Structures are given as structure tokens and as C-alpha cells.
Amino acid sequence: MYDAIADPYCYPGTTVLKNIPGIKTAKALARYEAIATATRGEEPLPKGRLSVRHYCAIHHHLFQDMYEWAGRFRTVRISKGGSAFCYPEYISQEMATLFDGLRKKRYFLDLSNAAFAKETARFLSTLNAIHPFREGNGRAQTAFLALLAARAGHPLNLRKLNAKTFMAAMISSFQSADMALAKQIERLMR
């Protein structure tokens, strides 16, 4: 669960995110969200140009059955485990900068597996630090990673993804140590 103060995204007096089905307990919401997003994840992802707009469309696609704000940047400050994410007033600017850099690097085309993994780990660690959405950042990042990798000629086998190990690598990358994340990405390419 994220730490947020006076969170308008939650039902009053709770940490349960307001949601379309009207679920009021965290446990039931987590169960429903897992099923709903997995179902949407089985569908083709929105087509796009690997841009900020495309990234938002992916988030919307995955979470459209859960949250009215799916695909829209958060408006509250959040943190997790004592680490603050990008303040909401800077999200648009930081996302534009990050995705412009991706475009300028030609979406990491024509790179070896190791070079692709290294570049992608840097990109993902920055995207994770921005954390543009109130919920669902990790799932949107993974879906986007799969699209980016496929377009760059490095298709991933997401069945090999160990959620616990990948999450630990993402957390490590938040502290500017993205080597573990690069190794996890490269492992998914084999």
C-alpha cells in the first residue's frame, strides 16, 4: 500500500481506493483487481508509438474496469517504504522528458541483448521513480516493457518473470542501482 496524505482517491477514513465496482475492503479489491487486470492483459494492448499517450492508453486498458481515473496521472503525492515518488506537479514534464529520450534513442533498436537490457533498466527505473499513476504502475510498466522489447527485436518470455525477484530489482533501481534490473530483463530474453 502507498503512503498518501488526505487521499481523495480513497474512500473516506480508509486506504481503499475508490473503484468502479464499489468494493470497500482492501482484500476484496486486490482480488478483483488481479482478476480484472489479468483478463484485460490477455487482450491485445492498445496500438501506439511508445509515447506518453500510448503509455497512458496501456494503463487505461488494464485498469478501465477498476478506476475512473485509469490512464490519467495522479494528483496526490505518494511514497512507498519511505521513498517519495515524483511530485504530481512534475509528472507531465518528467514523462515528456523520459519518453522524448526514448524516441531519441530510437526505442533501443539494433542493440545487443545486454545493451538493450541496460538501456531499458535505466528507462524503467526512471519511469518507476516518476510513478505517474495512483495505482497500477508496475503492471503498466511490465506491459510497456513487453511492447518495447518486441518492437526492438528482443521479445520477452514473461512466463519466466519471477515477481518477487523483479520487484526487488525495481526497488534496487530506485536507489540508482539498475544492474540487477538489467539482469532480470536480459534473463527474460532467453
Identify the architecture of domain 26-188 in CATH: Orthogonal Bundle (1.10)
Between 111 and 82, whose confidence is greater? 111
Evaluate if pTM is beyond 0.75: yes
Q: What is the pLDDT of residues 85-125, one digit of tens each?
A: 999 999 999 999 999 999 999 999 999 999 999 999 999 99
Find all residues with CB under 8 Å of 48, minimum gap 6, and list them: 54, 57, 58
Per the DSSP assignment, residues forming a β-bridge with 79 are 3, 84
The residue extents of the domains of the chain are 26-188
Nearest alpha-carbon partner for 87 in 131, 43, 123: 131
E strands within the chain?
A: 79-80, 83-84
Q: What is the pLDDT of residues 163-188, one digit of tens each?
A: 999 999 998 888 778 899 999 999 99
Per the DSSP assignment, residues forming a β-bridge with 95 are none
**pLDDT > 70: what percent of the chain?**
97
Provide mean pLDDT across the span 1-27.
87
Q: Residue 1: is its pLDDT beyond 70?
A: no
Q: Residue 6: is its pLDDT beyond 80?
A: no
